[in-house]
Amino acid sequence: MTFCPPPSTSEKPAEPKREEQARDVCLRLLTVRARTRAELEAQLTKRGYPEDVSARVLDRLVEVGLLDDAAFAEEWVRSRRTNSGKGKRALAAELRTKGVDAELIASTLDSVDAGEWRVQAEQLVANKLRRERLDDELKVTRRLVAMLARRGYSQGMAFDVVSTQLAQERERRAV
């Protein structure tokens, strides 16, 4: 008769439970809004889950399609452009803080036509100009260029858009 030791009570039985808990944390976070892999990884680390458990859970979420950084980046850019009027630089910075890969950021932002960025900037400036008094055009120009710069538009484009829109607004008010 051979001796069989009792099953070990070490980490093995707890692993599936920890994975299940980590998966529940991720699913709860994903129900609020879409997130990047880096964001979920940071949350799991913050809650004390081991790296191997986190990696398995996150790999499984990617596998089933619940976690997709590329889709997140595209949706983030679309949403922030539409709702906040953000420019390329601001969106790149936001995506970097969310943990999106630099190549993915570049490809996502490059997928938006350059003309669309300009149209967005023109709309922002036109909306602001309607409420501005044009007695001090230098002050108005500085204010509008600064507004576009804060939203992540390049200085050259911002100045060009503001001068064009200012000329159109002057012409519109003259009629």
- Domain parsing of the chain, residue ranges: 16-67, 68-112, 114-174
Query: b/e map of 66-102 (b: 16 or more CB within 10 Å)?
Result: bbebeebbbebbeebbeeebbbbebbbebbeebbbbe
Give me the architecture of the 68-112 domain, per CATH. Orthogonal Bundle (1.10)
Query: Per-residue pLDDT tens for 115-162?
Result: 899 999 999 999 998 888 888 889 999 999 999 999 999 999 999 999
**Is it true that 16-67 and 68-112 share their CATH fold?**
yes
Q: How far is CA 96 from the centre of its chain?
A: 8
CATH class of 16-67: mainly alpha
Instruction: Assign 13 a pLDDT band (cuts: 50, 70, 90).
Output: low
Query: Does the structure show a pLDDT above 90 at 3?
Result: no
Rounded to whole angstroms, how far apart are CA atoms 84 and 77?
10
Mean pLDDT of the chain: 89
